[in-house]
Amino acid sequence: MKPILFNTEMVKAILDGRKTVTRRVIKPQPSQNTLIGYCQDENIFGWSISKECVLITDSRTPPYQVGEVLYVRETFACEGSDEKDESHPFEVEWYNDDYATGEDHRFYGYVYKADTPNAKYPSGYPDDFEGAPTWKPSIHMPKEAARIFLKVTGVRVEQLQDITEEQAMKEGVGDPYDYQSDEWYEQNGLCGNYFKDAFYGLWDSLLPPNKNRFKCPENERKTNPWVWVIEFERCDKPEETNHDA
């Protein structure tokens, strides 16, 4: 079973049922004269300089296949008791209501940043508590800590700015309760791209300033890269097999 990483905001959107699709930059990007991306067969995606797809100039295998189950890596922390557990691969920290600390700890369970997104420290530690345990980056989360499982329902290729307002909403960005009808935006002299603008803002925020794809007008390819569009749905944790281990 493969992992897929999400930041805390997107994990919360998945838990809320607002996020059912994600876009990931294709690396390396296809050649500059690419005009169209398409599915060559169930497993290979190709690009062509012709809209009739007469000549394939490049191809990629998608990172995930339809029907595959993924486990989500998210920002987390370990909970522990007062007995040492040397078998656990991560530093285990003591949590209780009295904010007690100690050196010897036994692994107890996991806590997740998405459940308390505004908390500086895990498990109710105050923001000014000296020596409080810290959140661990999602990249380090072991499979055993996973609580969210996603079944891939669709994979395709497109350029980033091909995203529609409906698709941007499925990315889990923006607040649906703040959205007005397209007619409202038109009557007030505004464009009806509420969710698209929110998506572009999120995309920009995840990149270093010198790589912001929507702040590099001198380089059109940087502003509109080819991406994998991966659609998914929540599912139960699958039974482990030797192949998954």
What are the extents of the domains in the chain? 2-71+147-235, 76-136
Contact, 152 vs 231, CB < 8 A? Answer: yes
**CATH node for 2-71+147-235:** 3.10.400
Report the pLDDT value the prediction gives residue 30, as an integer from 0 to 100.
77
Q: Say how far apart CA 77 and CA 19 lie, in whole Å.
A: 24
pLDDT at 204 (0 to 100): 82
- In tens, the pLDDT along 48-75 reads 555 555 455 567 788 999 999 999 999 9
pLDDT digits (tens, 9 = 90+) for 97-143: 333 444 444 556 788 999 989 888 887 777 787 777 789 999 999 99
Q: Which of 13-27, 201-215, 230-244 has the lowest mean pLDDT?
A: 201-215
pLDDT greater at residue 77 or residue 149: 149
Helix, coil or strand: residue 20? coil
What phi and psi values does residue 191 have, to the nearest 5 degrees?
-80, 150
Confidence (pLDDT) at 217: 43
With H, G, I as helix, E, B as strand and everything else as coil, classify residue 47: strand
- The Cα 150–Cα 99 span in angstroms is 35
- Side chain identity, residue 86: E
Cβ distance 93 to 102 under 8 Å? no
Burial of 53 (0-12, 13-18, 19+ CB in 10 A): middle
State the pLDDT confidence band at 9, using cuts at 50, 70 and 90. very high
Q: Supply the pLDDT for residue 59.
A: 72
d(CA 178, CA 121): 30
Structure tokens at 160: 């980033």
Do β-strands 21-25 and 76-81 pair in parallel, antiparallel, or remain unpaired?
A: unpaired
Question: If pLDDT is split at 50, 70 and 90, which confidence band does 13 have?
Answer: very high
User: How many CB atoms within 10 Å of residue 186?
Assistant: 11
Handedness of CA 187, 214, 4, 92 (dihedral sign): negative
Among residues 91, 99, 100, 112, which one has the least CA distance to residue 11?
Answer: 112
Whether the CB-CB separation of 131 and 115 falls below 8 Å is answered with no
